[in-house]
Amino acid sequence: MTVAARFAAGRLPRTVHPGAWWLWALGLATAASRTTNPLLLALILAVAGYVVANRRSDAPWALAFRMYLFLGLFIIMMRVLFRILFGAGAASGHVLLDLPELPLPAWAAGIHLFGPVVLEHVLGGFYDGLRLATMIVCLGAANALASPKRMLKAVPAALYEVGAAVVVALSVAPQLVESVQRVRRARRLRGGAQRGMRALRSIAIPVLQDALDRSLALAAAMDSRGYGRNRHLPRSIRLLTGMLTLVGLIGVCVGVYALLDGSAPRYLGATMLPGGIVIAGIGFVLTGRRIDRSVYLPDRWRSAEFAVAGCGVGAGALVHLTSRIDAGNLYPSLSPLAWPELAPLPVLALVVGVLPAWLAPPPLPDTPRFGATAPVPVPSVQPGPAPRPAATGSAGKERSVR
């Protein structure tokens, strides 16, 4: 294929591997964790929002990004509120509000509430809250961009069954909602009670029983299709994996203890924790060898995925580099109060971070909601009123029911 044709093919709408989006988001979050400059953090937020606005799909989970924005706002407000509440006598500086001080009794740990509200103090809380909020919003961007179903495809072999259970759950959940709607409609037709505990019980229990029966039918279907054929592992391998898992977990315990206890030598925590993880990881991988599965249409990492992941990692690395060579602008001073400034290197990091908005292929135009079928154009028998502008899936089902 010519270069132009390959480039055009790369621009075809498709979903990007979720791992690439997660790496990009983690790179941005790492960049955000290295600075308290509010300007830089706000720019990282804007970068995340811009990429999400451009590259998110139309699936319902993609609309959760604004929830993360609200969560970030909540965190910032809590931090600022805490600083205002508990700032008595903490710092001197520009006083914004002179609130009276309220000492709490001794049983409430002798805390002093309120007191003069100092700008530098509140700004410190704002900077810290903004940093945490930015990291959370970056994770929210990953949630909005990464498709959960494709993530489940990438589950390691040792967790194959658990992953299959989660796939079943994701498929059944929308059916449950429809089931509830169906039962409620039937009750309404029969003239049953609409509210109160009796209604709840007579809706919930049939739905539950229906779901459980459906699960047994699903199990029979899986069995008839050959699910659950494990490769036979010799006893020695099973013993080995058990030993590795145990030793690894014990190493993790010791590492956690060493990390928290300052008197333990530093090398203990630094070696036991990663060492325990590695050993348990080997046991984990060996456990997965009993599963003999083949993957239908495996998810490959193509150039767009590498580009997206590389941009995130690059942004994080550039900010990390800045913190090593010229970190002054990354931490604007609060005493004396100084305007936050931008340096060229962090801006370069931001440019690298926003590139996935163009480098990643555009999202699919209108992805059907998972679990629901596409609207089936069934001609309605009676010329009834136009169907409500409900979700396309349930509207289609309702039409076919009538």
Partner 1 sequence: MSPPAPSTRHTSAIRITPRTALVLTIASIAGLAMFLWPLFASPSPESAAHSGDAPLIFAVTLPFVVAVVLAEMTSGGLDSKALAMLGVLSAINAALRPLGAGTAGIETVFFMLVLAGRVFGPGFGFVLGCTSLFASALLTAGVGPWLPFQMLASAWVGLGAGLLPKRVRGRREIVMLACYGVFSAYAFGFLLNMWFWPFLADAPGMVGPAFVPGDAVLDNLHRFFVFTVLTSTFGWDTGRAITNCVAIVLVGPAVLAALRRAARKAAFEAPIVFEPVERVEPVGPPQPATATETETETAHQPCA
Partner 2 sequence: MIAAHRARIARLAAALAILVLPATAQLTVTAPAARAVDTGKGTPGFCPDGNGVTVIVDFQELGGTTIVRCAPGEQATGLAALKNAGMQITGVARWGEAFICRVEGKPGANSEPCIDTPPASAYWSYWHALNGGSWTYSQWGVLNRKPPIGSFEGWSFSKDKTETSNPPPRVAPTRPTPKPTPNAPESERPKPEQPKPEQPGPEQPKPQPPGSDPAGNPPPAGGTDTPDTTGSRSVDPLAPGPGVAGNPMEAEPPPAAPPVVDPSTTATGTQPGAGPPAAGQPSGTTPAGATWTGGEELARTGEDSGIPITTLIGIALLAALCAGAAFTVVRRRRATSAVR
Q: Which of residues 250-269 bind partner 1 (CB under 8 A)?
A: 250, 252-253, 256-257, 259-263, 266, 269
Per CB under 8 A, contacts with partner 1 among 267-296 are 269, 273, 277, 280-281, 283-284, 287-288, 290
> Please, which residues have CB within 8 angstroms of residue 209's CB and are 6 or more apart in sequence?
none
Q: 147: closest CA among 351, 353, 316, 360? A: 360
Residue of the chain from 117, 119, 139, 313 that contacts partner 1 (CB under 8 A): 139
> Residue holding tokens 């940093």?
131
Q: Shortest distance, CB of residue 70 to partner 1, whole angstroms?
A: 8
Q: What count of Cα atoms within 13 Å lies in the side-chain half-sphere of residue 205?
A: 6
Which residues, 361 to 390, sit near partner 1 by CB under 8 A?
A: none
Q: How many residues bind partner 1 (CB under 8 A)?
A: 101
Binding site partner of 54, from partner 1, partner 2, none, Cβ cut-off 5-8 A by kind: partner 2
> Hey, what amino acid is at 399?
R
Cβ atoms < 10 Å from Cβ of 64? 12
Least separation in angstroms between residue 6's CB and partner 1 is 33
Distance CA(362)–CA(53), nearest Å, equals 11
User: What minimum distance in Å lies between the beta carbon of 49 and partner 2?
Assistant: 5
List Cβ neighbours of 119 (8 Å cut-off, separation of 6 or more).
93, 94, 95, 96, 337
CB 160 → partner 1: shortest distance, Å?
8
C-beta closer to partner 1: residue 81 or 342:
81
Contact positions with partner 1 (CB under 8 A) in 19-48: none
The position carrying tokens 């309120």 is: 114
CB closer to partner 1 out of 152 and 357: 152
Residues 134 and 44: beta-carbon distance below 8 Å = yes
- Which of residues 4, 12, 109, 297 is near partner 1 by CB under 8 A? 109
Q: Following DSSP, what letter does each residue of 88-103 receive, concatenated?
A: TTS--S-EEEEEEEEE
User: Within 10 Å of residue 47's Cβ, how many Cβ atoms?
Assistant: 24
**β-pairing verdict for 95-103 and 112-118:** antiparallel
Sites of contact with partner 2 (CB under 8 A): 34, 36, 39-40, 42-43, 46-47, 49-50, 52-54, 58, 89-92, 120-121, 124, 127-128, 323-328, 330-331, 333-336, 338-344, 347-348, 350-351, 354, 358, 366, 389, 392
- The one segment of 43-51, 225-233, 309-317, 359-367 that binds partner 1 by CB under 8 A: 225-233
- Reduced to 3 states (helix: H, G, I; strand: E, B; else coil), residue 5 is helix
| Whole-number Å distance between alpha carbons of 28 and 121 | 27
Do residues 279 and 248 make contact, with C-beta atoms less than 8 angstroms apart? yes
Q: Closer to partner 1 at the Cβ: 259 or 348? A: 259
Shortest gap between Cβ of 4 and partner 2 (angstroms)?
A: 11
Question: Residue 159 interacts with partner 1 (CB under 8 A)?
Answer: yes
Give whichever of 262 and 365 is closer to partner 1, judged by the CB atom.
262
